[in-house]
Amino acid sequence: MLVPSRAGRWVLWTVFALLFLPLFALPLLVVVAASFAGHWSGAFPSDPTTAHYAAAVHGESLQALVTSLVTAVVASLLALALGTWTAIAAAGLGKRAKRSLDALLMLPVAVPSVVVGLAVLVAFSRPPLLLNGTSSIVILAHTLLVTAFAHQSVAAALARLDPAYEQAAASLGARPSYVLWRVKLPLLLPSLTAAAGLCFALSMGELSATMMLYPPDWVPLPVRIFTATDRGSLFSGSALAVVLMAATLLVLLAVSRLRTRGSYR
Amino acid sequence: MPRAGAALPRPGWRVPRPVWALPPVAVLGLILLHPLGLVVQQSLSPERGGGAFGGYAEVLGSAAFRDALGTTVWLAAGATVGCLVLGFFLALVIAFVPFPGAKAVAKFVDVFLSFPSFLVTLALLFVYGTVGMANGLWTGVTGAAEGPFHFLATPWGVLLAEITYFTPFVMRPLLAAFSQMETAQLEAASSLGAGPGRIVRQVILPEARPALAAGGSLVLVMCLNEFGIVLFTGAKGVTTLPTLIYGKAILEADYPAACVVAVVNIAISVGLFGLYRVVSKRAGA
């Protein structure tokens, strides 16, 4: 279309492949290859082994995976609750109040995650709210960082929602709480699950704020990957990274299946 | 005599709608605004003398801070330009010179976005590290003792990783914008004898400008805030504002200094993010 000549198209596609493959496909392939490698000092990995995976699902690494999963699930649910509430509440506000509420929610996205971590650390290391050294401080920081995304996607879905449904329900005498539970939330369900998947993926990969405040007995997977590679254990770090990617993708896949099922109802 | 309106029975007392916004705002105030306020307060604490702004004078005057600020800004600016150029070209090919599998590539880009950034640095260690693929190929072919690629521990390594990781964030809005474009426009321009270069310049680029602006400013903010990529290079020579904050707070336990850097970083990022919101609002309109 844009390039009528066949030769011209092939030149463009070649340039595309030369840029795309080394920049985007190669990194993922390399991490996967390294996770199976016993040795890599040359062009290609050697001594294929699955020992890194055996280690990745045992002991402290397994604990890190469970820690990450628990943190991500709890933080996503909390963020979903908070973000849905703010999105629905914002819809009932005036224009200026709505804009300030949106700005408040987007603040953790604009502020560097490291600073969010620092702020939470400073605020919750002193009584009366002494959370430093507990798992709650990590979950709290993750919740803060992902709530914005939950709020944003629920607010976008609310804006697209046909007001006729709730008007019909209300005109038939349904109380506002009934309209919310039986009409609005079920209609929002697909976007709620999408938001949950997004929050989960972000929380699984969160490193910056976590590095500032993880306690020794609550080490999420990204921190474990960092400590492994920092020690020089690049191969076991890669295996852990593949486990992290696989866990994230599996949950995203499950969520998107749930969503397509939900949208047929 | 009661007025007509008052005669209607009220369906019970109802909470006014704006009141429903108060509980979440209170929660956010406690877990977000209060902590950020404490960071500002700590940055002003005259612990080491010199008045309220003593900490600022000391930190802002230090070479380490100015170094980190300079590195952060040029890395973010460079990565943004790189992402814009690369993302525009890649999105252009996917949208307008499609090849079999172009859809799958677009899907792959989406998946790429859901992975954490430090994976890219981890991968680059195997590709361009001292004993990685590139150097391995070089020594294998030339027989030299070591390969020529040593840029990973320098800012260039961070730049490459940031361009790799953030380009999809430019491609996504671009692909969305391209999918809404009328192909009739392109066909008309083409049938009037415009060459591909001219079509891109005069038809596609003006349409893509809002998406480019929105994607570019988002990437700029995310690069300024990036931590994982810089941390994973393990380069002692590359310090950005976020890694400086981490170093001051966790490695040196110098919280007032960390808070000063944090306030500067907040000011830069929030200012730019506000700009991004304005630009992307305009792009969406």
Instruction: Evaluate whether B94 touches B175 at the Cβ level (below 8 Å).
Output: yes
How far is CA A39 from its chain centroid?
Answer: 32
User: Using the beta-carbon criterion (under 8 Å), do A226 and B118 form an inter-chain contact?
Assistant: yes
Searching chain B, which residue's CA lies closest to the CA of residue A240? Answer: B119
List C-alpha distances in Å: A76 to A94, A199, B32. Answer: 28, 5, 17
Euclidean distance between CA atoms B275 and B285, whole angstroms: 16
Residues of chain A with pLDDT under 70: 1, 42, 259-265
What's the pLDDT tens digit per position in A2-45? 777 888 888 889 999 988 888 888 888 888 888 888 777 767 77
CB contact under 8 A, B18 and A93: yes
Nearest to B119 among A23, A31, A106 (CB): A31
**Residues in contact with A99: Cβ distance below 8 Å, sequence separation at least 6, in sequence order:** none
- The low-confidence residues of chain B, meaning pLDDT below 70, are 1-14, 46-52, 235-236, 283-285
Instruction: Give dist(CA B174, CA B241) in Å, integer.
Output: 30
> Between B39, B108, B272, which is nearest A119 by CB?
B39
Q: How many residues does chain B have?
A: 285
Which of helix, strand or coil describes residue B125? helix
Inter-chain residue contact B120 with A27, CB threshold 8 Å: yes
Whether B93 and A13 lie within 8 Å, measured CB to CB: yes
- What are the backbone dihedrals phi and psi of residue B44, each rounded to the nearest 5 degrees, phi first? -95, 0
pTM: 0.87
DSSP SS3 for B8:
coil
Residues of B in contact with A206 (CB under 8 A): 116
Residue B208 has a pLDDT of 87
A residues 21-50 closer than 8 Å to B (CB): 23-28, 30-31, 33-34, 40-44
A23·B225 Cβ contact <8 A: no
Q: In angstroms, rounded to a whole number, what is the distance separating the alpha carbons of residues A10 and A8? A: 5
Which residue in A192, A198, A196 sits closest to A263, CA to CA? Answer: A192
Nearest to B227 among A114, A121, A241 (CB): A114
Dihedral sign, CA of A203, A207, A213, A215?
Answer: positive
Could B127 and A30 be called an inter-chain contact, meaning their C-beta atoms sit closer than 8 Å?
yes
Which pLDDT does position B42 carry in this prediction?
Answer: 86
CB contact under 8 A, B133 and A43: yes
Looking at residue A234, its pLDDT comes to 85
Please list, in sequence order, all residues whose beta carbon lies within 8 angstroms of the beta carbon of residue A238, skipping any fewer than 6 positions away: A31, A32, A34, A35, A52, B122, B126
ipTM over the 0.90 cut-off:
no
Q: Which of residues 188 through 217 in chain B touch A, CB cutoff 8 A?
A: 190, 196, 199-200
- Structural domain B53-284, CATH architecture: Orthogonal Bundle (1.10)
- CA–CA separation, B26 and B19 (whole Å): 11
Contact A251, A68 (CB under 8 A): no
CB contact under 8 A, A85 and B33: no
Neighbours of A46 (CB within 10 A): 11
The backbone torsions φ and ψ at residue A48, rounded to the nearest 5 degrees and listed phi first, read -60, 140
CA angle B94, B217, A22 (to 5 degrees): 40
Measured between beta carbons, the chain B residues lying within 8 angstroms of A255 are none
Position A261 scores a pLDDT of: 61
Q: B16 touching A, CB under 8 A?
A: no
DSSP SS3 for B7 = helix
Contact status of B132 with chain A (Cβ, < 8 Å): yes
DSSP bridge pairs for A37: A48
Cβ <8 Å between B196 and A2 = yes
Which of B:74-93 have CB within 8 Å of A? 86, 89-90, 92-93
Residues from chain B that touch A13, judged by Cβ atoms under 8 A, are 93, 97, 99
Contacts of B225 in chain A (CB under 8 A): 111-114, 208
Contact A83, A188 (CB under 8 A): no
All structural domains of chain A, each given as residue ranges with its CATH number in brackets, are 51-264 (1.10.3720.10)
Please state, in angstroms and rounded to a whole number, the distance separating the CA atoms of residues B161 and B75: 11
Separation of alpha carbons A21 and B27, rounded Å: 45
Question: What chain A residue is nearest to B233 in terms of C-alpha separation?
Answer: A230
Q: What pLDDT score was predicted for residue B9?
A: 46
CA distance A23 to chain B (A): 6
Within 166-185 of A, beta carbons closer than 8 Å to B belong to 175-176
For chain B, which residues make up each domain, given as ranges? 53-284
Rounded distance between C-alpha atoms, residue A232 and residue A228, angstroms: 7
Chain B residues 39-78 within an 8 A CB cutoff of chain A: 39, 42
Do the Cβ atoms of A122 and B35 come within 8 Å? yes
Q: Do A112 and B259 touch (CB under 8 A)?
A: no
Q: What string of DSSP letters covers chain A?
A: --S-SHHHHHHHHHHHHHHHIIIIIHHHHHHHHHHTEEE--SSS-EEE-SHHHHHHTSHHHHHHHHHHHHHHHHHHHHHHHHHHHHHHHHHTS-HHHHHHHHHHHHHHHHS-HHHHHHHHHHHTEETTEE-TTSHHHHHHHHHHHHHHHHHHHHHHHHHHS-HHHHHHHHHTT--HHHHIIIIIHHHHHHHHHHHHHHHHHHHHT--HHHHHH--TT---HHHHHHHHHHHT-HHHHHHHHHHHHHHHHHHHHHHHHHHHHHHH-
Q: Is A220 on the interface with B (CB under 8 A)?
A: no
